[in-house]
Structure 1
Amino acid sequence: MTETPSQPPSHLSVRRSTVDGVRVVALRGELDHAARVDLGDVLHPPGEEAPRTVADLSGVTFMDSSGINILIAAHRAAVQSEGWLRIVGAQPSVLRVLELVGLDLVIPCFPTLAQALES
């Protein structure tokens, strides 16, 4: 007899760190509908003033419209709090999705963390 978990396992891992006072959220896996639960308020914790966050997407292998919506919501929340969100290290396939919907024109995208922190 085989047991099936009631919820599918998460396909996204999140690692948080701080570099020069900037929150760096490194995502690994798939940024899709299931990721909403995993991310919650990770990209923009509620109540934080002028949050500065870099979303490191170098480990993201897949992103769909749910991932786009997660990034848009985090960007809006950061701007409303007089902060910012930047994206770093997006793989070519993920960067292509960002470019197709024009999100790279709204949220600055950088190839490296150093470049994102310098801007």
Structure 2
Amino acid sequence: MVRNDTDGITVLGLDGEIDHQSVRGLTRALAAAEGAVGQRVVIDLSRVTFMDSSGVNALIAAFQATEAAGGWLRLVVVRGAVLRTLQLVGLDTVVPFHPTLEEALAPTRPDT
């Protein structure tokens, strides 16, 4: 996992599999990114090859924490299996998905 802070946005780059054995690292990194009012987080899943319900639950918790703090969470999702998993649970209907990191980091209009 790689963490970068760019222009007030925390970017977490993940790779490999996110499952019940590896989710602790993600949970720790997300906890470190939480707490600040207005925290903005991008999680880059473009190199993740597999995700089970443990990873999905960690993403949901991160979304809820950033929203509660007045911030936002965006995901970079390009892999088929991971994308399908997140779509099956409906995460794509509440968390913005982006095909590239550049798009996820781009400012949005105030009304979106």
- Output the TM-score relative to the length of structure 2: 0.87
Say yes or no: does 1:40 pair with 2:6: no
63-72 vs 15-24, greater mean Cα deviation: 15-24
Q: Show structure 2 runs of 5+ residues with no match.
A: none
Deviation, structure 1 residue 66: 0.8
Rounded to whole Å, the distance in 2 between the matches of 1:105 and 1:35 is 26
Say yes or no: does 1:79 pair with 2:67: yes
SS of 2:81's partner is: helix
Deviations, residues 71-95 of structure 1 (Å, cap 9, x unaligned) = 0000001111111110013311100
Q: Calculate percent identity across the aligned residue pairs.
A: 49
Rounded to whole Å, the distance in 1 between the matches of 2:101 and 2:76 is 6
Instruction: Name the CA shift for 1:44/1:85 in 2 (closer, same or farther; >3 Å).
Output: farther
Q: Show structure 1 runs of 5+ residues with no match.
A: 1-13
SS of 1:33's partner is: coil
Q: How many residues align?
A: 106
- Rg: which structure is higher? 1
Whose helix proportion is higher, 1 or 2?
Answer: 2
RMSD: 1.3
Task: After TM superposition, list the pairs within 5 Å mapping 1:80-99 onto structure 2.
Answer: 80-99=68-87
Deviation, structure 1 residue 44: 4.2
Deviations, residues 30-51 of structure 1 (Å, cap 9, x unaligned) = 1111223212331243432211
